[in-house]
Amino acid sequence: MAERLTREGRQVVIIDREIPGLGSTVASTAMLLWEIDRPLFELAQVYGLGKAIRCYRASHHAAQGLVCLIAHHGIACQMRPRLSLYLAVDDSPKLVRDEYAMRSRADLPSLYLDHGALQRRFGIARAGALLSRDAADADPVWLTRGLLDVSLQRGARLLKANAVAYDSAVSGITVGLESGHSIDARHVVLATGYVMPEFVKPTAQQPTSSWAIATRRQPGNLWPEQALIWEASRNYHYARTTADGRIILGGEDDHALIEPAARDEATPAKVRALRTYLKLLWPHASDHVAFSWSGAFDTTHDGLPLIGTVPGCKNIFAAFGYGGNGITFSFLAAELLATLIAGGSSPLLDDLAIDRDIPG
Ligand SMILES: Cc1cc2nc3c(=O)[nH]c(=O)nc-3n(C[C@H](O)[C@H](O)[C@H](O)COP(=O)(O)OP(=O)(O)OC[C@H]3O[C@@H](n4cnc5c(N)ncnc54)[C@H](O)[C@@H]3O)c2cc1C
């Protein structure tokens, strides 16, 4: 967000109460997918084909835009273009085949692999999968720090402070800090992850925790083409490789365990479950765990982010509810909120509005 606004020559003050990048971002496995947590065919059933395709295409543009932005600034964050594999979870390929039909109608770059093709090319035994272009992976903290550095070089200021109050006036906002100081600004963007202030009150947002493991280095045991892997299910597992030859595997999401102490207590059981899953997914790998961790992040019922004006607060904007696409959606949020602040509009701002009605 700061990179996007400083690019337009705006004066930007970034407030973070921690070291930037150490919220949900440091826990992220940083699979930069354009494929959204809810499949296109399901979004089309809920919202109609037009809106569903618009959201998917916007996500695809955002993933490509982020890769270009990082390349443009030469940010060293181990970003690698990747293929992604979206695996069927049960014995029937119907769900991924239906999704393939929908994506073809939307001109999205996915191919259907049946059981045999998947087995031959990737050595993975599932009923079917979608193979997609234009994904990437990266180190999420270096990516964030790189964009932050660009913003600071352009004159943005970074304050370590806890924002505790937001007072709207006709021409702007006063942000009250815990230290007793305050900042007057014309616009405020809340990009505070899953800890949004009370007054934002979305109806369809839910913090969730996810667990991840990284194996020891095993460059000889990785699956072909080192595609990003995830699954066609609500509570999916996800896996990638790293530049130094590890396998990172995540999942076992839980809405009930958000506080760090509760997450830590659950970690041994979650790690056992992830190791078991790794053995099923890719039996050639060593399941020796070098690192394990967990983090909380924000999800929504429809898999789409919450981006736009905070209802009832003219000059306060927010970007959150990113689900498993946090890094891709942060690029989309920066584009959309910069447009909004400049007085522009986009149908996506209705699609992703914070007070939108999310069925079921
Ligand atoms: C285990 C795990 C795996 C994930 N995997 C992926 C993945 O593969 N791909 C992907 O795209 N996404 C993934 N995500 C989601 C992604 O990490 C998040 O969506 C993304 O990092 C959110 O970024 P953010 O900047 O909005 O929030 P955060 O990184 O949480 O940053 C918010 C910042 O706001 C600050 N803050 C909050 N309140 C205040 C306040 N009142 N005053 C001052 N500062 C404040 C915090 O200190 C923090 O630094 C994963 C998440 C987890 C936990």
Nearest CA to ligand 1 atom 12: 326
Residue 56: the pLDDT is 98
Q: How far apart, in Å, do the first and last CA atoms of the chain sit?
A: 31
Q: Could you report the per-residue pLDDT of 289-311, keeping only the tens digit for each?
A: 999 999 999 999 999 999 999 99
Q: Could you report the per-residue pLDDT of 222-251, keeping only the tens digit for each?
A: 999 999 999 998 889 999 999 999 999 999
- 300 in ligand 1 pocket by Cβ < 6 Å? no
Domains of the chain: 1-39+48-77+138-202+305-359 (3.50.50.60), 80-137+205-300 (3.30.9.10)
C-alpha to C-alpha distance for 117 and 211, rounded to whole angstroms: 31
Residue 360: the pLDDT is 66
Instruction: Tell me, in angstroms, the distance from the centre of ligand 1 to residue 150's CA.
Output: 19
Residues 6+ apart with CB under 8 A from 50: none
- 31 in ligand 1 pocket by Cβ < 6 Å? yes
- 251 in ligand 1 pocket by Cβ < 6 Å? no
Q: Which has the higher per-residue pLDDT, 34 or 171?
A: 34
Residue 219: the pLDDT is 96
What mean pLDDT is reported for the chain?
95
Q: What percent of the chain has pLDDT over 90?
A: 93
Question: With 80 as the cut, is the pLDDT of residue 256 above it?
Answer: yes
Question: With 80 as the cut, is the pLDDT of residue 170 above it?
Answer: no
Residue of 145, 159, 297, 328 to test ligand 1 pocket, by largest number of atoms within 8 Å of CB? 297
C-alpha to C-alpha distance for 351 and 343, rounded to whole angstroms: 18
Q: Could you report the per-residue pLDDT of 194-210, keeping only the tens digit for each?
A: 999 989 977 778 899 99
Region 214-219: what's the mean pLDDT? 97
Instruction: Tell me, in angstroms, the distance from the centre of ligand 1 to residue 97's CA.
Output: 33
Query: What element of type H or E holds 332?
Result: helix 326-341
Tell me the C-alpha to C-alpha distance, in Å, between residue 85 and each of 126, 220, 304: 11, 20, 20
Q: Is 314 helix (H, G, I), strand (E, B) or coil?
A: coil
Nearest CA to ligand 1 atom 39: 192
Question: With 70 as the cut, is the pLDDT of residue 39 above it?
Answer: yes
Residue with tokens 């999704």: 99
68 Cα distance to chain centroid: 17
Q: Which has the higher per-residue pLDDT, 170 or 327?
A: 327
Residues 6+ apart with CB under 8 A from 312: none
Q: Could you report the per-residue pLDDT of 94-112, keeping only the tens digit for each?
A: 999 999 999 999 999 999 9
